[in-house]
């Protein structure tokens, strides 16, 4: 869905992209610079996947997971995320939970359960939201839509470094395989597949630093 000239634009910068493309870091910094709220939509799917694990519910059990998503007991703090009053900031960033997030994101009832929760993050302050369908589904009337991407190899190196691992060797190879598998799952799902919105600006971050990527997004924002 693309907003037409007759639809009011929302005070939202929507940043989509595959895993480890840098969208979360870029979005958070852009939000801080513009004094806007920030939504990490992927965290909601990761939290739901983790919560399902804790409740011994399989990731293919659509309706039970959707019920969990509706009542997800999550609290976002400045530097941490609490699930049932337990800090899960690190726990939701594992590759296994990432795969779980992709699995449940393919379930229509789960996406419907989380859709309004994501939209409720928008206030008068404005919002910078990152995810996989922020521009195409959640905020199709966003004032700026950006799709960040990078090669799978670069993204695997970034994730390895983020996890304190060497950007080569067996750990890197496993991360690369997981990223490629997740890319395939995200792009091939029938519900909200990973792809740029028709009017999104494409930014390949393979050879860019975080600061360069942030500056590019801000430059696009200043020109709208």
Q: Does residue 23 have a known ligand-binding role?
A: yes
The pLDDT value given to residue 34: 97
Token pair 């969208």: residue: 23
Q: Does residue 27 have a known ligand-binding role?
A: no
Q: Does residue 90 have a known ligand-binding role?
A: no
Structure tokens at 7: 């639809």
- CA-to-CA distance for 40 and 30, rounded, in angstroms? 13
- CA-to-CA distance for 110 and 69, rounded, in angstroms? 7
SS3 128: strand
Q: Does residue 164 have a known ligand-binding role?
A: no
Please tell me the CATH code under which domain 10-217 is placed: 3.40.50.300
Q: Does residue 17 have a known ligand-binding role?
A: yes
Which residues make Cβ contacts (< 8 Å) with residue 121, sequence separation at least 6?
Answer: 37, 39, 127, 129
The pLDDT value given to residue 155: 93
Nearest alpha-carbon partner for 54 in 78, 75, 85 = 85
- CA-to-CA distance for 173 and 178, rounded, in angstroms? 9
Q: Does residue 20 have a known ligand-binding role?
A: yes
CB-count exposure of residue 130 (10 Å: 0-12, 13-18, 19+): buried
- CA-to-CA distance for 205 and 155, rounded, in angstroms? 10
Reading the chain (224 residues) residue by residue, the pLDDT tens digits are 445 445 689 999 999 999 889 999 999 999 999 999 999 998 999 999 999 999 999 999 999 999 999 999 988 876 789 999 999 999 998 889 988 998 998 899 999 999 988 999 999 999 999 999 999 999 999 999 999 999 999 999 988 888 888 888 888 999 999 999 989 988 888 877 889 999 999 999 999 999 999 999 999 999 98
Token pair 């922020």: residue: 134
Q: Does residue 21 have a known ligand-binding role?
A: yes
- Residues counted in the chain: 224
The pLDDT value given to residue 7: 66
- CA-to-CA distance for 216 and 86, rounded, in angstroms? 37
Q: Does residue 25 have a known ligand-binding role?
A: yes
The pLDDT value given to residue 6: 52
């Amino acid at each position: 869905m693309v907003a037409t000239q007759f639809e009011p634009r929302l005070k939202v910068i929507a940043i989509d992209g595959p895993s480890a493309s840098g969208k979360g870091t870029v979005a958070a910094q852009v939000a801080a610079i513009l004094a806007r709220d920030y939504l990490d939509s992927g965290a909601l799917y990761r939290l739901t996947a983790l919560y399902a694990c804790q409740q011994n519910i399989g990731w293919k059990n659509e309706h039970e997971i959707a019920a969990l998503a509706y009542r997800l007991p999550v609290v976002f703090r400045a530097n941490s995320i609490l699930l049932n009053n337990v800090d899960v900031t690190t726990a939701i960033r594992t590759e296994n939970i990432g795969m779980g997030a992709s699995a449940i994101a393919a379930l229509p009832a789960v996406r419907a359960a989380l859709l309004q929760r994501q939209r409720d993050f928008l206030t008068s302050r404005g919002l910078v939201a990152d995810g996989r369908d922020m521009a195409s589904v959640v905020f199709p009337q966003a004032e700026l839509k950006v799709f960040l991407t990078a090669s799978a190899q670069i993204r695997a190196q970034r994730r390895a470094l983020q996890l304190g691992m060497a950007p080569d060797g067996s750990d890197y190879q496993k991360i690369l395989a997981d990223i490629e598998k997740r890319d395939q799952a995200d792009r091939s799902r029938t519900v909200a597949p990973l792809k740029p919105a028709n009017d999104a600006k494409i930014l390949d971050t393979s050879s860019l630093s975080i600061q360069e990527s942030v500056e590019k997004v801000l430059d696009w924002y200043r020109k709208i």
